[in-house]
Structure 1
């Protein structure tokens, strides 16, 4: 990247046209391919920007009318510029947890491949943060995946006891829907053989009936939510700063906090008011927990880069963790499951219907997490009843994930005006697992069915669901186009889409999802000057190399908010930039340790696995 404060040489040779001061650009971008994602003008030579808005898009000669003595020339140096990416679904604040804990991810994003390497990674992280761990009495890791461990099982409390028997150790599954605690962590949480899990959750047990350390869904949330809720404003603010910086690193200029709370939104607002959010963040608090807050705070407008966009609701769990609700048994689940096991819902149909009805009655957008076919059947029924009762309030309901969909369900979602925000990165991270264990080789071809969606001329968004995966925009792009798995298999070639369609699913279509299509998602006159600069033109490279493209620069409102260091893609990406800061680590771990001491009200009996 080269930025010059002197006029372009080529513009200096042109006869400048007379222009008012309102037409003189602050910055003119040129020198590389510019993909506008605007079908009326797909490409351009140059873009002029003034006061954070796009002033002109066109040829280099066209920019002479907007060139002034103070205009900055931003030389793309042959690199490609696109509109900034819009997050169709992720968790910016909880992404800070990923950035501030031990990296438990499997290759290519980490180094955990078996129980031994998981233990070694936790131990190394604890040693690197020895003072903070000693003071806070806590070790935490994020991102382990039993599907990628050589043992093909979850770690147990005994496995984590090998890291420490005196310090609480908690690791979070990559899906975010389950986790494991060592014996000390379970002791502090009050989880014993007599403990009963809350509705929609499971405490896994060994052959003697003792908790083995693995907690699923609401049993895990009952541990995690108070744990994080006691972080306090300073701890959550650190999450927000770290998460939003991580999103900017991957070219996102609009992020999403996709299952929020009033407390988290208030922290986001404070961080934004302090000028510490590099990107816009739209939040969707949980409708079952924060209905009054949503009703009082929902807005179409950002204040200090934060707004509440609507509601979030979660029906079921993780497909790779076998907690998503299917309409048929899982193909070959790994673990202790009864014959015919098909997962379970986290909420009742009455809760679902009540939440959907409230959003429709009030004209508020609702985002619904539904992974299994059984969960989507519930969602379709609820939406049909709400629309019969309230009509279509124009609230653009959103399906989140839809990993396992039947083709008739895709047709139903079109009929109901649902925007699918799908998760094609599953084809890379868990495609082999889905093919071999969750849905089998036939239905595995149709996970994240973008082909079926486009056959019906539906818009859709693609997401990373970070911290479930890194918010790696180029991995999202590559997976949507190639559907290549970790093993090299192509999972469902008929569900692939072309590069430009995949780019629209990261820009203009999720902008539409958020009611922001007039402001973001394409490079057009009048829109916000949000850009991402890539190492090459994604439409001009071999699709098999898309994941290798680099995000070099992220520009928000004509201000550079991220610039890559040379060689950032050489070796492992460091996703824990603050973990070796003893002050940050101490604050973070101490807050978590305090949360662990909160007594847990185990609410009711565990759901049966049926």
Structure 2
């Protein structure tokens, strides 16, 4: 599953950015007062006065993720970089003058988390919408609850409704609703029949519209299904019931949310970056940027709205006129490469599988395997374009049939352009087969897995999507390591919160919502799971010289946790808390 590497966020970003860039210039952005979603802590006067001094961190366990020196007593930071790591007395001797000491008070300090796949702008959109997520991230556990949440949101958000002409909800999940179905136009019309309502499925690959919204986008019983998508129909087989899949949904929502303006876009960017920082991330991603998005992110950086680094991957099928990929950041933003999307969402049952779904969705036969969003020729062409230009390419492929297409495309590109250090990335690879892993290794395709899925949708995969045998193999982290593959792990926010602790816990335990361990043979140890959130994503980004371990010379990007994750039982990892996030030696988030 993927949110904005689904074309939804891209379609929305395209609609917003076209409006933004046509109507506004950049003048005055730096003076904009934008509210974030987390509390921002700035230096105290004493801290400000000593900003040019060395800073020494000690007083708690320091987990370096550096195999050459796994632990340390102290770290010395100067000018945003790590100067020394080791025994406190040795570190102190390397200070160049006055030293500001930070006492960790028994808390654990680790390298800042590096997000290998997520969507920082759309996390900001989520902050503007009604929270329809089910427990534990929200209260959207049945359709009456969704209706209640939407009604409450309407009361408190009249400004947004008046300004943008739409009621927005995000995060409902039919697999977790008591009714085990999608809300329909009738369910949403009961909330309002006068104002368009659009609610986004947690995967970002589907959504539901009320009657007014369907009217606004011109969908009727005579509207055909678009290529790569579908308007689900009512009992008569013709009348749209409000539920829209893939391309049908992306087109509808880009129309409905096209009135979002530049101020809203900058609000979204700032809020998304701040929310990521609250979970200990110091490097984040905009995983499928459409024309205009990279420019807006660059403007947000220039205006000082970003405390974290943002790596942007424009859609490979869209224009790259805004900027060429670069290894260098400007105001915390850089273009990392390009992004391609082959298929959809496994829990939404639109991912492209080689074998049929365990239980096909309504209206589909027993041979239904999902479908691709593009043709095989298109992904071969996308990889060829990236390799020809020396661009890194990240590819969304959830179903194993989609993974087969990616393997074929990279093999063809490698044969044509020769070997090279390209670090092509498989995003998600949820249903990657064990026989595909050696091919990923041979072609140097780095898998970015989604083991957090085992918690959120593991039971659903086992009982409805894939069946017990295939479900047990989703995100095959242990099998990848056994073959010598490194992998990264992600949350795909805003599909779920960018919850680093949930990512860590799920990778180690693979415990589902019901408490079942899904595929115990694919569990890994805590240190391996931490590398998949720090060092290995830094390698994915070609940034291992600057990030991923606490090593002299690297950036002073840290996260402080309530306890040392290497010292707690696997089942207790989920109780860890992010206490503080530090970017280049400066605190950018502290828990309250």
Structure-1-length-normalised TM-score: 0.87
Q: Is the 8 A contact 1:255 1:281 kept in 2?
A: yes
In the alignment, what sits opposite 1:333? 360
Q: Is 1:93 paired with 2:107?
A: no
Report the 3-state secondary structure (helix = DSSP H, G, I; strand = E; otherwise coil) of the residue aligned with 1:146.
coil
CA deviation after TM superposition for structure 1 residue 562, in Å: 0.5
Aligned counterparts of 1:495 and 1:362: Cα–Cα separation in 2: 36
CA deviation after TM superposition for structure 1 residue 71, in Å: 1.8
Aligned counterparts of 2:293 and 2:257: Cα–Cα separation in 1: 10
Q: Is 1:459 paired with 2:486?
A: yes
In the alignment, what sits opposite 1:116? 144
Show the 5 A alignment for 1:204-243. Answer: 204-208=232-236, 209-228=238-257, 230-243=259-272
From 261, 274, 280, give the equivalent of 2:309: 280
> Which one is further off, 243-252 or 69-78?
69-78
Structure 1 pair 170/392, CA: closer, same or farther in 2 (3 Å)?
same
CA deviation after TM superposition for structure 1 residue 226, in Å: 4.5
CA deviation after TM superposition for structure 1 residue 377, in Å: 1.1
Q: Is the 8 A contact 2:459 2:513 kept in 1?
A: yes
Q: Is 1:177 paired with 2:218?
A: no
Report the 3-state secondary structure (helix = DSSP H, G, I; strand = E; otherwise coil) of the residue aligned with 2:566.
coil
**What is the Cα-based RMSD across aligned positions, in Å?**
1.8
The count of corresponding residues between Structure 1 and Structure 2 is 547
Aligned counterparts of 1:549 and 1:98: Cα–Cα separation in 2: 24
In the alignment, what sits opposite 1:54? 82
Aligned counterparts of 1:320 and 1:106: Cα–Cα separation in 2: 15
From 480, 489, 497, give the equivalent of 1:470: 497
Aligned counterparts of 1:135 and 1:40: Cα–Cα separation in 2: 56
Aligned counterparts of 1:64 and 1:478: Cα–Cα separation in 2: 35
From 361, 383, 387, give the equivalent of 1:360: 387
CA deviation after TM superposition for structure 1 residue 290, in Å: 2.4
Q: Is 1:525 paired with 2:552?
A: yes
Show the 5 A alignment for 1:337-416. Answer: 337-416=364-443
1:194-220 deviation digits (Å, cap 9, x = unpaired): 112332111111122111111111111
In the alignment, what sits opposite 1:186? 214
From 486, 507, 510, give the equivalent of 2:534: 507
> Which one is further off, 122-131 or 88-97?
122-131
Q: Is 1:425 paired with 2:477?
A: no
1:29-78 deviation digits (Å, cap 9, x = unpaired): 01100000000000101000000000100111112214466321111110
In the alignment, what sits opposite 1:578? none
In the alignment, what sits opposite 2:337? 310
Q: Which segments of 5 or more consecutive residues in structure 1 lack a partner in the other structure?
A: 8-23, 566-610
1:364-422 deviation digits (Å, cap 9, x = unpaired): 10000000011111111111111111112321100000011111111111111000000
Aligned counterparts of 1:336 and 1:124: Cα–Cα separation in 2: 34
Q: Is the 8 A contact 1:186 1:213 kept in 2?
A: yes
CA deviation after TM superposition for structure 1 residue 291, in Å: 4.3
Aligned counterparts of 2:53 and 2:521: Cα–Cα separation in 1: 45
Structure 1 pair 47/144, CA: closer, same or farther in 2 (3 Å)?
same
From 159, 171, 176, give the equivalent of 1:148: 176
Q: Is the 8 A contact 1:101 1:140 kept in 2?
A: yes
Aligned counterparts of 2:188 and 2:498: Cα–Cα separation in 1: 28
Q: Is 1:440 paired with 2:472?
A: no
> Which one is further off, 244-253 or 126-135?
126-135
1:430-482 deviation digits (Å, cap 9, x = unpaired): 00000001110111110011011011111100000001110000000000000
CA deviation after TM superposition for structure 1 residue 335, in Å: 2.4
1:214-249 deviation digits (Å, cap 9, x = unpaired): 111111111233445542322211111011011001
Q: Is the 8 A contact 2:76 2:92 kept in 1?
A: no
Q: Which segments of 5 or more consecutive residues in structure 2 lack a partner in the other structure?
A: 1-40
Q: Is the 8 A contact 2:166 2:256 kept in 1?
A: no
From 571, 575, 578, give the equivalent of 1:551: 578
Aligned counterparts of 1:63 and 1:401: Cα–Cα separation in 2: 41
CA deviation after TM superposition for structure 1 residue 4, in Å: 10
Aligned counterparts of 2:321 and 2:394: Cα–Cα separation in 1: 17
In the alignment, what sits opposite 1:603? none
In the alignment, what sits opposite 2:28? none
Q: Is 1:44 paired with 2:75?
A: no
In the alignment, what sits opposite 2:229? 201
CA deviation after TM superposition for structure 1 residue 292, in Å: 4.6
Q: Is the 8 A contact 2:109 2:561 kept in 1?
A: yes
In the alignment, what sits opposite 1:260? 289
From 466, 479, 485, give the equivalent of 2:506: 479
Report the 3-state secondary structure (helix = DSSP H, G, I; strand = E; otherwise coil) of the residue aligned with 1:147.
coil
